[in-house]
Amino acid sequence: MLTRIDHIGIACRNLDETVEFYRATYGFEVFHTEVNEEQGVREAMLKINETSDGGASYLQLLEPTREDSAVGKWLAKNGEGVHHIAFGTADVDADAAAVRDKGVRVLYDQPRTGSMGSRITFLHPKDCHGVLTELVTSAPAEETEH
């Protein structure tokens, strides 16, 4: 069962400049940064708030590290902006299977490693009214420190 909006992914050309905009404009601070070589992105997670299920909600700023990455291709086609929305779940495997059973295409056969050690999969945007949708099971709290 989906429990919260985990994050909203925003594609950007310059991560440092985009982080500074969100810091200066809204007061959001960077909670975590990493480079995900598999997905070809450098990212910053800006924590927005805590949630009742023990998780949090974030803005995930994504700068491609290579043009052929999914975010790099998307950015070249669409420009900067909202790339995807991610819903938190206690069990990404079960929820991915449940939506697959309802006819929604799940993009990964098995969940992959995402930000901060999470387990993730994506749902095809054509099956989600044009929205690239991610399902996320957060890593245990002790594993997600900066």
Known catalytic residues are 7, 43, 60, 84, 134
> Which DSSP string do the residues of 23-66 spell out, in sequence order?
HHHH---EEEEEEETTTTEEEEEEEEEE-TTS-EEEEEEEEESS
What's the token pair of residue 39?
């997905």
Adjacency order of strands within the sheet including 133-137: 30-36, 41-50, 56-64, 2-11, 81-89, 133-137, 119-123, 112-113
Using DSSP's 3-state secondary structure scheme, residue 117 falls into: helix
Element (H, E) at 77: helix 70-78
Its sign, for the CA torsion 33, 75, 67, 113, is positive
